[in-house]
Amino acid sequence: MKININSGIIKIIISTILFIIALFFKEYNIVYFGLLTLSYVLVGYDIFIEAFKNLLKGHLFDESTLMIIATISAFIIGEYPEAVMVILLFQFGEYLSDMAVNNSKESIVKLMDLRSDYVNLKKGDKIEKVDIKKARVGDIFVVKPFEKVPLDGVVIEGVTSVDSSSLTGESVPLEINVSSLVLSGYLNGNGLISVRALSDESTSTASKIIDLIENSSEKKTNTEKFITKFSRIYTPIIVILAILLVLVPLMFGGSLEIYNALVFLVTACPCALVISVPLGFFCGVGRASKEGILIKGSDGIDGLAKIEALVLDKTGTITEGKFVVRKVASEGVSSSELVCLAAYSEYYSNHSIARSIVGAYSEKIDEKKIKNYKEISGYGVKASVFGKDIIVGSDKLMAMNDIDIPNVDSFGTTVFVSLNGKYLGYISIYDKIKDSALDLVFLLKKIGIEKTFMLSGDNADICRNVCEKVKIDEYYSKLLPADKVKKMKEIKKDYFTAFVGDGINDAPVIKEADIGISMGGIGSDAAIEAADVIIMHDNLSKIPLAIKIARVTQKIVKFNIIFALGFKFLMLVLAYFGLASIWMAVFADVGVTLLAVLNALRIMRKKI
């Protein structure tokens, strides 16, 4: 653990020295009292300031209040060394806890230190190294061998390989050439590449990810909210009980027992819970990021741990989303003419199926020949091409336009084409299943996720074939985006459900699910906006790993809560019966806090 020498530890050291010196002057009351008071004030004045600030905010009782009441009372009854030692040990425990927390946060930020401070801008024939904040979208920059890619962009010159593990958790190098997309945070190999920037410093993928990690504590779990409320109620109750511990014996003719009440107050300090619970969730988020899993907040940890059923999109999630034209069947025109008309019609669409059809057409497309383009979401497109009315899309779109089509027995996605209201043929498109999808259901069942569903816009034959290969339990086919949302609502009635999609077309369903997971969405604003969890690589095996990390995190957090409360309760009972000293109480408070913090930090290193 890295030790930070700051003003806090210096004050503790000086105060400790004054305390030790005071013990040698015990027979000289004024010097003895003066040195102990100076030691107390030096190390404790910031606690008074903190308590005063909290008082102005309306927080009357907190751990600072407990320490002040306990130590001032100790001074009043003449227990000067105990008062100083309590405040010293309390501050030292706070310092050690803060150091552990800060080191944890620094290690996570360092782990996600994806950003570069500079960019090699290309200006004419010269390369100028400038502050990354001066770079703009559209600038051309150079990435030299073994440098970090500073901004998201598209390669316009050069060939290399990059290490994407800091973003995706995957160690296999990516081969990069002209037209490849590179993301900020990639580590370049031994090639030299020129890149056109698609982002600036503030909008780069690296910045988005780091901001989400650093702000993950803003989205709190029910456990964290409970601990916050609990400490606000718990502390005043403890103060009242301590007062009763003094008053009740007096009411029944007993002696004044302030010391036991002071032990009671010090023992009750809720530091272990207040510090270790948020730290545990933060470490869970950090551990996940190390594995290429971006969880947007600690409530995402909570949601992952509760998943009972997984619902998946097909295209781009279970399958690669890289469509290839597999078959062309035409009537009345040649196959090349059919592909030409379909490619022109689909030219303005961003759908992956449309891009595959455009890619299958080898000629250059003249945009001037395309008029009246209209995309019908979930169905297909209409356009005027070469002065002819073309419709390209699903069988539903053909039926909507009263176009008769034959029954097609073809594995893959079938896209029908019509010309001036008459059927012209179809194009069959194939999408390969991801290798990681083949083991997904096995891995899910291994960790207790028994139910899996697939939602798709494709026909039943395609869906059945995919589910048989991947061993998914149930599928629903021919669903439009609105149908997927409706089906998700039905599934949610029976299970706590996660939906896995590509984060763009499936954003409404991702938001509707109990927890939304986006695949390979590191470069997508829509994915980051819609999903609770982003798998930063197209590897479905990361989903069971994310669930396991969440469960381990929750297990450690719950243990810390039970351990802290159980130990506190034991010490409170001992304090009530006068069996504990104020020294024991302070050591117990500091010790429990440190043990809880160290246990939370195990999340970062534990084998999962």
Q: Using only C-alpha atoms, what is the Rg of the chain?
A: 32
Q: What CA–CA distance (Å, rounded) separates 458 from 328?
A: 18
Question: Residue 532: which H helix or E strand, with range?
Answer: none
* Dihedral of the alpha carbons of 472, 475, 480, 482, in degrees to the nearest 10: -90
**CA–centroid distance for 548 within its chain:** 14
- Contact residues for 44 (Cβ-Cβ < 8 A; gap 6+): 67, 71, 87, 91
Phi/psi region, residue 404 (left: phi>0; alpha: psi -120 to 50; beta: rest), is beta
Tokens (6 digits) for 273: 């819970």
Q: What CA–CA distance (Å, rounded) separates 351 from 393?
A: 12
Q: What length is written for the chain?
A: 608
Tokens (6 digits) for 5: 């020498």
Question: Any idea which residue has 């059809």 for tokens?
Answer: 357
Task: Report whether 170 contacts 154 (CB < 8 A).
Answer: no
* Dihedral of the alpha carbons of 400, 401, 405, 410, in degrees to the nearest 10: -50
Task: Report whether 508 contacts 484 (CB < 8 A).
Answer: yes
* DSSP symbols for 420-479: TTEEEEEEEEE-PBPGGGGGHHHHHHHTT--EEEEE-SS-HHHHHHHHHHHT-SEEE-S-
Q: Which residues are catalytic?
A: 313
Task: Report whether 527 contacts 540 (CB < 8 A).
Answer: no
Q: What CA–CA distance (Å, rounded) separates 499 from 476?
A: 14
Residue type, 400: M
What φ, ψ does residue 278 adopt, rounded to 5°? Answer: -60, -35
* Helix (H/G/I), strand (E/B), else coil: 5: coil
